Structure 1
Protein backbone atom coordinates (compact mmCIF):
# COMPACT_ATOMS: atom_id res chain seq x y z
CA UNK A 1 0.00 0.00 0.00
CA UNK A 2 1.41 3.40 -0.92
CA UNK A 3 1.60 6.46 1.36
CA UNK A 4 -1.44 8.29 -0.05
CA UNK A 5 -3.56 5.17 0.47
CA UNK A 6 -2.28 4.80 4.04
CA UNK A 7 -3.08 8.44 4.78
CA UNK A 8 -6.53 8.13 3.24
CA UNK A 9 -7.23 5.10 5.45
CA UNK A 10 -6.20 7.08 8.55
CA UNK A 11 -8.51 9.90 7.47
CA UNK A 12 -11.31 7.39 6.88
CA UNK A 13 -10.80 5.97 10.39
CA UNK A 14 -11.24 9.23 12.24
CA UNK A 15 -13.66 11.07 9.98
CA UNK A 16 -16.19 8.64 8.59
CA UNK A 17 -16.07 4.93 9.29
CA UNK A 18 -13.09 3.71 11.25
CA UNK A 19 -12.99 1.89 14.54
CA UNK A 20 -9.32 1.00 15.00
CA UNK A 21 -7.82 3.63 17.32
CA UNK A 22 -10.79 5.17 19.07
CA UNK A 23 -13.28 2.34 18.57
CA UNK A 24 -15.55 4.86 16.89
CA UNK A 25 -15.34 7.84 14.55
CA UNK A 26 -16.63 11.37 14.27
CA UNK A 27 -19.53 10.55 11.96
CA UNK A 28 -20.78 7.77 14.24
CA UNK A 29 -20.63 10.04 17.27
CA UNK A 30 -22.32 13.09 15.76
CA UNK A 31 -25.11 11.05 14.15
CA UNK A 32 -26.68 10.42 17.56
CA UNK A 33 -26.40 14.03 18.72
CA UNK A 34 -29.55 16.15 18.56
CA UNK A 35 -29.45 19.73 17.38
CA UNK A 36 -30.16 20.84 20.95
CA UNK A 37 -27.12 18.90 22.22
CA UNK A 38 -25.02 20.19 19.31
CA UNK A 39 -25.73 23.78 20.33
CA UNK A 40 -25.74 23.37 24.12
CA UNK A 41 -23.04 25.23 26.03
CA UNK A 42 -21.06 23.40 28.68
CA UNK A 43 -19.26 25.99 30.76
CA UNK A 44 -16.85 27.89 28.51
CA UNK A 45 -16.30 25.03 26.04
CA UNK A 46 -17.13 25.33 22.37
CA UNK A 47 -20.35 23.67 21.31
CA UNK A 48 -20.30 20.42 19.38
CA UNK A 49 -21.70 22.22 16.34
CA UNK A 50 -18.90 24.80 16.51
CA UNK A 51 -16.26 22.06 16.77
CA UNK A 52 -17.70 20.18 13.79
CA UNK A 53 -17.74 23.39 11.76
CA UNK A 54 -14.16 24.17 12.84
CA UNK A 55 -12.82 20.76 11.78
CA UNK A 56 -14.64 21.00 8.48
CA UNK A 57 -13.34 24.53 7.86
CA UNK A 58 -9.76 23.26 7.81
CA UNK A 59 -10.56 20.08 5.90
CA UNK A 60 -12.25 22.12 3.17
CA UNK A 61 -9.51 24.75 3.25
CA UNK A 62 -6.66 22.29 2.81
CA UNK A 63 -8.52 20.42 0.08
CA UNK A 64 -9.21 23.71 -1.70
CA UNK A 65 -5.50 24.51 -1.58
CA UNK A 66 -4.57 21.07 -2.93
CA UNK A 67 -6.91 21.59 -5.88
CA UNK A 68 -6.29 25.28 -6.66
CA UNK A 69 -2.99 26.22 -4.96
CA UNK A 70 -4.87 29.14 -3.42
CA UNK A 71 -4.90 29.44 0.37
CA UNK A 72 -8.24 31.04 1.19
CA UNK A 73 -8.68 30.16 4.84
CA UNK A 74 -7.74 32.15 7.92
CA UNK A 75 -7.67 31.08 11.55
CA UNK A 76 -9.80 34.06 12.59
CA UNK A 77 -12.78 32.59 10.65
CA UNK A 78 -12.38 28.98 11.71
CA UNK A 79 -14.91 29.17 14.55
CA UNK A 80 -17.53 31.25 12.69
CA UNK A 81 -20.08 28.47 12.69
CA UNK A 82 -23.54 29.17 11.29
CA UNK A 83 -26.36 29.44 13.77
CA UNK A 84 -28.12 26.12 14.35
CA UNK A 85 -31.76 26.64 15.32
CA UNK A 86 -33.37 23.37 14.29
CA UNK A 87 -32.72 19.78 13.22
CA UNK A 88 -32.45 20.75 9.53
CA UNK A 89 -29.65 23.23 10.26
CA UNK A 90 -27.80 20.54 12.20
CA UNK A 91 -28.35 17.96 9.45
CA UNK A 92 -27.05 20.46 6.89
CA UNK A 93 -23.86 21.04 8.90
CA UNK A 94 -23.31 17.30 9.39
CA UNK A 95 -23.90 16.59 5.70
CA UNK A 96 -21.48 19.34 4.69
CA UNK A 97 -18.88 17.76 6.99
CA UNK A 98 -19.51 14.26 5.57
CA UNK A 99 -19.30 15.47 1.97
CA UNK A 100 -16.08 17.41 2.55
CA UNK A 101 -14.54 14.53 4.51
CA UNK A 102 -15.31 12.04 1.77
CA UNK A 103 -13.93 14.41 -0.89
CA UNK A 104 -10.74 14.95 1.11
CA UNK A 105 -10.27 11.20 1.65
CA UNK A 106 -10.79 10.48 -2.05
CA UNK A 107 -8.41 13.24 -3.11
CA UNK A 108 -5.65 12.00 -0.80
CA UNK A 109 -6.15 8.39 -1.89
CA UNK A 110 -5.70 9.38 -5.54
CA UNK A 111 -2.58 11.51 -4.96
CA UNK A 112 0.75 10.49 -6.39
CA UNK A 113 3.26 9.64 -3.65
CA UNK A 114 5.63 12.34 -4.94
CA UNK A 115 2.96 15.01 -4.34
CA UNK A 116 3.23 14.42 -0.59
CA UNK A 117 6.60 16.16 -0.49
CA UNK A 118 5.38 19.28 -2.32
CA UNK A 119 5.58 22.43 -0.18
CA UNK A 120 2.24 23.62 1.19
CA UNK A 121 1.80 27.34 0.40
CA UNK A 122 4.86 28.47 2.37
CA UNK A 123 7.82 26.50 3.71
CA UNK A 124 6.80 27.29 7.30
CA UNK A 125 3.64 25.17 6.75
CA UNK A 126 5.62 22.11 5.68
CA UNK A 127 4.62 19.81 2.86
CA UNK A 128 1.40 18.16 1.74
CA UNK A 129 2.01 15.09 3.88
CA UNK A 130 2.50 17.17 7.01
CA UNK A 131 -0.75 19.02 6.35
CA UNK A 132 -2.67 15.78 5.84
CA UNK A 133 -1.26 14.50 9.13
CA UNK A 134 -2.20 17.79 10.79
CA UNK A 135 -5.80 17.32 9.63
CA UNK A 136 -5.82 13.81 11.11
CA UNK A 137 -4.34 14.97 14.43
CA UNK A 138 -6.53 18.08 14.56
CA UNK A 139 -9.65 15.99 14.02
CA UNK A 140 -8.68 13.47 16.70
CA UNK A 141 -8.11 16.33 19.14
CA UNK A 142 -11.53 17.89 18.55
CA UNK A 143 -13.16 14.47 18.25
CA UNK A 144 -12.11 13.83 21.85
CA UNK A 145 -13.68 17.11 22.87
CA UNK A 146 -16.94 16.20 21.13
CA UNK A 147 -17.11 12.84 22.90
CA UNK A 148 -16.45 14.45 26.29
CA UNK A 149 -19.00 17.24 25.74
CA UNK A 150 -21.57 14.68 24.63
CA UNK A 151 -20.96 12.66 27.82
CA UNK A 152 -21.19 15.76 29.99
CA UNK A 153 -24.46 16.83 28.37
CA UNK A 154 -26.01 13.40 28.77
CA UNK A 155 -24.72 13.06 32.31
CA UNK A 156 -26.33 16.39 33.22
CA UNK A 157 -29.58 15.29 31.56
CA UNK A 158 -29.87 12.24 33.83
CA UNK A 159 -29.54 14.28 37.06
Structure 2
Protein backbone atom coordinates (compact mmCIF):
# COMPACT_ATOMS: atom_id res chain seq x y z
CA UNK A 1 0.00 0.00 0.00
CA UNK A 2 2.90 2.35 0.59
CA UNK A 3 3.57 2.31 -3.14
CA UNK A 4 0.08 3.75 -3.76
CA UNK A 5 1.02 6.81 -1.71
CA UNK A 6 4.47 7.20 -3.22
CA UNK A 7 3.98 6.19 -6.86
CA UNK A 8 0.22 6.08 -7.33
CA UNK A 9 0.13 2.43 -8.37
CA UNK A 10 -0.91 -0.75 -6.59
CA UNK A 11 1.81 -3.22 -7.50
CA UNK A 12 1.46 -5.90 -4.83
CA UNK A 13 -0.02 -9.25 -5.79
CA UNK A 14 -1.55 -11.80 -3.43
CA UNK A 15 0.63 -14.57 -4.82
CA UNK A 16 3.71 -12.65 -3.60
CA UNK A 17 2.35 -11.76 -0.16
CA UNK A 18 4.71 -14.07 1.71
CA UNK A 19 7.74 -13.96 -0.59
CA UNK A 20 10.59 -13.05 1.73
CA UNK A 21 14.30 -13.70 1.63
CA UNK A 22 15.47 -16.57 3.78
CA UNK A 23 16.59 -15.44 7.23
CA UNK A 24 19.97 -17.03 7.86
CA UNK A 25 21.42 -14.73 10.47
CA UNK A 26 20.70 -12.06 13.03
CA UNK A 27 21.90 -9.52 10.44
CA UNK A 28 19.29 -10.79 7.93
CA UNK A 29 16.58 -10.52 10.60
CA UNK A 30 17.62 -7.02 11.61
CA UNK A 31 17.66 -5.89 7.98
CA UNK A 32 14.15 -7.24 7.37
CA UNK A 33 12.87 -5.78 10.63
CA UNK A 34 14.34 -2.36 9.87
CA UNK A 35 12.84 -2.34 6.38
CA UNK A 36 9.38 -3.26 7.70
CA UNK A 37 9.62 -0.69 10.52
CA UNK A 38 10.73 2.08 8.14
CA UNK A 39 7.92 1.30 5.71
CA UNK A 40 5.38 1.26 8.55
CA UNK A 41 6.53 4.69 9.72
CA UNK A 42 6.25 6.07 6.16
CA UNK A 43 2.76 4.60 5.81
CA UNK A 44 1.60 6.13 9.09
CA UNK A 45 2.89 9.57 8.04
CA UNK A 46 0.97 9.37 4.77
CA UNK A 47 -2.25 8.39 6.54
CA UNK A 48 -1.81 11.06 9.22
CA UNK A 49 -1.56 13.71 6.49
CA UNK A 50 -4.77 12.66 4.76
CA UNK A 51 -7.92 14.69 5.24
CA UNK A 52 -11.25 13.08 6.10
CA UNK A 53 -12.36 13.64 2.51
CA UNK A 54 -9.25 11.93 1.16
CA UNK A 55 -9.83 8.94 3.43
CA UNK A 56 -13.29 8.55 1.90
CA UNK A 57 -11.92 8.51 -1.66
CA UNK A 58 -11.76 5.31 -3.68
CA UNK A 59 -8.60 3.30 -3.00
CA UNK A 60 -7.02 2.69 -6.43
CA UNK A 61 -10.06 0.94 -7.96
CA UNK A 62 -13.70 1.01 -6.94
CA UNK A 63 -13.61 -2.75 -6.25
CA UNK A 64 -11.28 -2.03 -3.27
CA UNK A 65 -13.58 0.54 -1.70
CA UNK A 66 -12.25 3.58 0.14
CA UNK A 67 -9.15 4.10 2.25
CA UNK A 68 -11.38 3.55 5.28
CA UNK A 69 -12.36 0.00 6.25
**TM-score greater than 0.5 by the shorter chain:** yes
Deviation per residue, 1:42-78 (Å, 9 max, x gap): xxxxxxxxxxxxxxxxxxxx12112322111100011
Partners of 1:67 and 1:86 lie apart in 2 by 31
Structure 1 unmatched ranges of 5 or more: 1-61, 131-159
More contact order relative to length (CA 8 Å, sep ≥ 6): 1
Deviation per residue, 1:87-136 (Å, 9 max, x gap): 00000011011101111111111112210011112111111122xxxxxx
Alignment match of 2:41 (pick from 88, 98, 102): 102
Give the length in aligned residue pairs.
69
Alignment partner, residue 66 of structure 1: 5
Structure 2 unmatched ranges of 5 or more: none
Give TM-score, length-normalised by structure 1: 0.41
Larger-Rg structure: 1
Runs of at least 4 residues of structure 1 off by over 4 A? none
**1:1-159 maps to which residues of 2 (within 5 A)?**
62-130=1-69
Partners of 2:20 and 2:2 lie apart in 1 by 19
User: Per residue, is there more helix in 1 or in 2?
Assistant: 1
Q: CA RMSD in A?
A: 1.1
